[in-house]
Amino acid sequence: MAAISTAALTVRIPPSAAAAQPASGNTDPTGPFVLPPLPYAYDALEPYIDEQTMRIHHDKHHAAYVANLNKAVTGWDGLDDKSIEDLIRSLAGVPENIRTAVRNQGGGHLNHSLFWQMMSPHGGGEPQGDLATALEKKFDSFAGFKSAFTKAASALFGSGWVWLTIGDSKELRLEPTANQDSPLTAGRTPLLGIDLWEHAYYLKHQNRRADYIAAFYHVINWDDVQKRYHDAI
């Protein structure tokens, strides 16, 4: 079973990046969920996110979430054929004695699988088209969105994420989640997210979260965010 099932989450690796990372992510999976490869080279986001952070973040932290998720679902009928989105979206249906593990480890797997695609070495700038219009409607301007996103990311206490999401009402919203919780569990679709665990930035920025948040804007893959927005509306 593929780790990520929806077309919007398909990972494509540019030929120039293929030699710089694992050919197929987790090449020795021990369960139904597989570590996806990065869609670019480890150093592709320099100077904003450094190569060593990307290697450790993907190959160690994300890989650990996948391995621990596979351990959690082993032996449970009906779970090994579900996508990670389905598991996280319907946590109440997961057996109670592994629900916390699936919430934490599965959430970590899903969130990171999205995160890699939400960044690009050709990212940055501003969104275009109807996404730009929607952001302006909600936040008055792109600058207003950046200010609100930065404020939310700076204010998040401890480890977690801040997301730009959309729900059934098609209204955009900024919302934080603690630890590895996902907006999907609350019925909302993540369009853009920033990882605010210290392992995402500490090697380069140490305790300067504000510097990391500012750097993140230079690598946002707005084409990917726009596609998610179109899929959601």
pLDDT tens column, 45-68: 999 999 999 999 999 999 999 999
> Has residue 74 been placed in a domain?
no
Residue (of 3, 162, 175) closest to 85 by Cα position: 3
> Has residue 21 been placed in a domain?
no
Q: How confident is the model at residue 10 (pLDDT cuts 50, 70, 90)?
A: very low
> Has residue 8 been placed in a domain?
no
> Has residue 152 been placed in a domain?
yes
Cα–Cα dist 193/195, whole Å: 7
* CA distances to 120, 121, 216 from 43, in Å: 11, 9, 15
> Has residue 84 been placed in a domain?
no
- Compare 23 and 90 and report the one with higher pLDDT: 90
- Domain hosting 133: range is 129-232
CATH at residue 205: 3.55.40.20
Q: Mean pLDDT score of the chain, rounded to an integer?
A: 87
> Has residue 76 been placed in a domain?
no
* pTM, two decimal places: 0.86
pLDDT tens column, 143-157: 999 999 999 999 999
Cα–Cα dist 156/210, whole Å: 12
Total domain count, the chain:
1
> Has residue 95 been placed in a domain?
no
> Has residue 172 been placed in a domain?
yes
- Compare 78 and 191 and report the one with higher pLDDT: 191
